[in-house]
């Protein structure tokens, strides 16, 4: 059972976050202006140093972020294979022990696993979880999701409709410099 160290109240302010995939990258990034970091490489578990596999690096990264007053979240693979679930569980358990504040999921099966095996752990449904309209967002809200990120390709007016429908859930709108073209079992395209 996950017991959050802080209140589960929704954020009432913008959160500036970034994804960092490896301990090496974290060492090179100035995190002073950030509120939070999503740790791990969700596109490919085979990337050298991926914090979803490098559990020692993951633990150290979470502790570093927490000591700097930053929120550490764990991301998960976008296209998880059956054989990935034991690795994902190990990363989530390591993250919980080290002090993560939540986990980002992209896949419905992985959502179910995290929800059932780690009750109370805040779950963020990512922009790749196919949240295109209020009904999908409401479903995840009803399932206890802490944060919803709508699909990247939606217009701002469409995002507002979704946000208004799930106003009791944190709502995140990512701002990207580049977008992935697609994901596969092998890696990002």
CB 48 within 8 A of CB 24: no
Domains in the chain, number: 1
Helix (H) / strand (E) containing 102: strand 102-105
Does 7 map to a domain? Answer: no
| CB-count exposure of residue 2 (10 Å: 0-12, 13-18, 19+) | middle
Give the pLDDT confidence score for residue 167 in this predicted structure.
Answer: 83
Give the pLDDT confidence score for residue 6 in this predicted structure.
Answer: 43
Does 5 map to a domain? Answer: no
The Cα 154–Cα 158 span in angstroms is 6
Q: Look up the pTM and report it.
A: 0.87
* Residues 33-64 pLDDT 10s: 999 999 999 988 999 999 999 999 999 999 99
Does 107 map to a domain? Answer: yes
Residues of the chain scoring pLDDT < 50: 1-9, 189
CATH number for the domain spanning 117: value is 3.20.20.70
DSSP letter for 155, please. Answer: -
Quote the domain boundaries for residue 135.
17-171
Does 92 map to a domain? Answer: yes
């Amino acid at each position: 059972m996950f017991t959050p160290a802080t209140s589960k109240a929704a954020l009432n302010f913008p959160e500036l976050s970034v994804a960092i995939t490896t301990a090496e990258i974290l060492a090179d990034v100035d995190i002073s202006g950030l509120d939070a970091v999503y740790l791990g490489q969700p596109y490919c578990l085979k990337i050298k140093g991926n914090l979803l596999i490098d559990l020692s690096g993951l633990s150290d990264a979470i502790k570093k972020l927490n000591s700097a007053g930053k929120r550490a979240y764990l991301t998960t693979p976008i296209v998880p294979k059956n054989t990935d679930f034991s690795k994902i569980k190990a990363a989530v358990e390591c993250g919980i022990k080290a002090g993560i504040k939540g986990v980002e999921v992209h896949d419905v099966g992985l959502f179910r696993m995290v929800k059932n095996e780690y009750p109370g752990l805040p779950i963020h449904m990512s922009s790749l979880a196919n949240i295109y309209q209020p009904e999908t967002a409401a479903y995840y809200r009803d399932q206890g999701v802490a944060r919803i990120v709508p699909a990247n390709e939606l217009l701002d007016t469409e995002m507002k409709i979704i946000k208004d429908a799930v106003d009791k859930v944190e709502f995140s709108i990512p701002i990207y410099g580049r977008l992935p073209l697609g994901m596969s079992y092998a890696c990002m395209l």
